[in-house]
Amino acid sequence: MKTIEIEPTFESWQAAARALLRDETPPAQVRWREASNARQPSLPHEPTSSGAVKVPRQFLELARQAAAASDPARWQILYDVLWRLVHEHRDLLKDPHDPGIQRLHGLLTPKAAGPDGDGAARLVPAGAGLGELRAAAARCTGCDLYRQATQTVFGRGSADARIVFVGEQPGDQEDRQGAPFVGPAGEVFDRALAEAGLERENVYVTNAVKHFKFEQRGKRRIHQTPRATELQACRPWLEAELTLIKPDILVCLGATAARAIFGDTFRITKDRGRFAATRWAPKTIATYHPSAVLRGETETQQAELYAMLLEDLQKVAQA
């Protein structure tokens, strides 16, 4: 196994990939690692001279775009495809059913969110405090959601908070008032917090997506679940909040937040109510979203959902 350190740029990956191809190193023997000032492999000055491989121009275009994605697996995915283009067949890119090609295209989908849709990453000021982050997020155009919403709803609470709650996205009231969990879901949340013995002033509350996504029906604005691309675009804000606060306990409210933190396979019904260590907090847990309680079809069902939410918050209060 070779560990190849590159700067997270297309050029750095390309230089390393060329050298690996020349040495006939198959993808399975390469582990890619990002470093901010990696040493470049030494290269002949004329990379297209005899012995160097020719790669379809279309691949280079795709690779350049994929290099700008944030998935750390992109270098490996790119080298896999490159290797197979050279060793299997040059028309690989034309096969939409090939799993490797699908993974390559998967890297590009977050970019499909529109002209401003390249995510919040480049807008997050490095080393900023919460106030600066909030101010920068207020101007975010990282995906299309800012166009329709009233304002960015950033997290609320102190950087010293030891417990962070993450919801899905602001709702109608939150969008108007500019603060998370201040509408009907916020009422349920506040009630459960108080009953569990937690105080809102001592915790930090935020959302996975910071703009309200809705569909206008007459006068009503109907909540719409954010797409994976929007979650991905907004994720740098959440990461910046969590990196700064470093909570002891991180609580995901509902499936969207839970998947953002634990990954796509997380299922609230099956996996809720258990602490696990994540890179964000030594104790990370997910529970029902307060809105789920409100959506319960009967009073009995609502009471049951509320009881489970409360039970999980009590675990948090005791941890």
List contacts with ligand URA (CB under 6 A).
167-171, 174, 180-181, 183, 185, 207, 291
Closest CB 274 distance from ligand URA, rounded Å: 21
Nearer to ligand URA among residue 58 and residue 224 (C-beta): 224
In angstroms, the Cα distances linking 135 to 31, 85, 116, 130 are: 38, 46, 18, 9
Segments in 88-129 forming alpha helices (H): 99-108
State the alpha helices, DSSP H only, in 110-163: 130-137
Smallest gap, in angstroms, from Cβ of residue 112 to ligand SF4?
14
Helix intervals (H) in the chain: 10-22, 57-67, 74-87, 99-108, 130-137, 172-177, 184-196, 228-245, 255-262, 268-271, 290-295, 299-318
Which among 229, 9, 234, 225 has a CA at the least distance from the CA of 109? 229
Q: Which does residue 141 bind out of ligand URA, ligand SF4, none, counting CB within 5 to 8 angstroms by kind?
A: ligand SF4
Sign for the CA dihedral angle at 314, 315, 318, 319 comes to: negative
List the single partner that 181 binds among ligand URA, ligand SF4, none, CB under 5 to 8 Å by kind: ligand URA
Q: Which residue is nearest to ligand URA (CB)?
A: 167
Q: Does residue 199 contact residue 308 with C-beta atoms inside 8 Å?
A: no
Q: Where along the sequence are the contacts to ligand SF4 (CB under 6 A)? A: 120, 137, 140-143, 145-146, 152, 209-211, 230, 233-234, 237
**Residue 206 contact partner, candidates ligand SF4, ligand URA, none, CB within 5 to 8 A by sort of partner:** none
From the list ligand URA, ligand SF4, none, partner contacted by residue 12 (C-beta under 5 to 8 A by kind): none
Which one, 207 or 232, has the nearer CB to ligand URA?
A: 207
Minimum Å gap between C-beta 135 and ligand SF4 is 12
Instruction: Provide, rounded to whole angstroms, the least separation between the CB of residue 16 and ligand SF4.
Output: 31
Task: Return the number of the residue (7 or 239) whose C-beta is nearest ligand SF4.
Answer: 239
